[in-house]
Amino acid sequence: MVGPARPLFVLFGSSIVQLSYSNGGWGAILSDIYARKADIILRGYYGWNSRRAAQILDQVFPKDASVQPSLIIVYFGGNDSMGPHSSGLGPHVPLPEYIENMRKIATHLKDLSDKTRIIFLSTPPVNEAKLRENTSTYFSELVRTNELCRMYSEACIELCKEMDVKVVDLWTAFQKRKDWMNACFTDGVHLSAEGSEVVVEEILKVLQQAEWEPSLHWKSMPSEFSEDSPYDLVASDGKTTINPSEWTYHRKIQWD
């Protein structure tokens, strides 16, 4: 551990989380936005469903940890919503069990600390045609449909309303873009840079609007070592220095 201690944000989920530092991913974008404000920790597991996640909650999020996360962003559902395989193997989780698994995850995370905040991400749509083109013969038949994604997304949103958990409706957010099917994915399901930008925009909306104390929106959080220093860059007057601790000019998008 390095100090001073910063708030901890944990990204917990399946491949949408594990790959969130790839291809201009949303995890990388959040790490840039919060570079001097919070430490963002990745706990993403390619191919996982809510069933596997519920089984390892105590290992990833021990209740007796000396420091608990300030924010946990959770995504499971895309793999759960895949059609069942005739063998009984595979990631499919029936919808009622998915709901109960997500309930278990939310309950466990709520119990970590009174100051631990939670955001769930609902299941986004997929580009079915692109998925068929990119599915390798290495796999048995993969059944991913937008109708299944919609059902699991709606179930996640309804559960979050019931449990008073913040939720990002990715199913709706993606489809606000007319070109979402081609712009938002690399392979029909995993996110492109444009898709990740949608995720970041929606997460920041939640953080900005949430009535949490303290606020976890980046503009409301202090930057580490933000005091003025005579060692900062010298201004054009040759007498004063310019404090760069809040500079954001390097970002392609000036996030709200």
Laid out side by side, the sheet with 166-168 consists of 39-44, 8-13, 71-75, 117-121, 166-168
- Which two three-digit tokens encode residue 100? 């109960």
E strand or H helix that includes residue 153: helix 146-163
Listed as own residue / partner, the contacts of 100-105 with beta carbons closer than 8 Å and 24 or more positions apart are 101/50, 101/51, 101/53, 101/54, 101/76, 102/50, 102/76, 102/77, 102/156, 102/159, 103/159, 103/163, 104/54, 104/57, 105/50, 105/53, 105/54, 105/57, 105/74, 105/76
CA–CA distance, 250 with 149 (Å, rounded to integer): 36
8 and 41 Cβ atoms separated by less than 8 Å: yes
Positions marked catalytic: 14, 187, 190
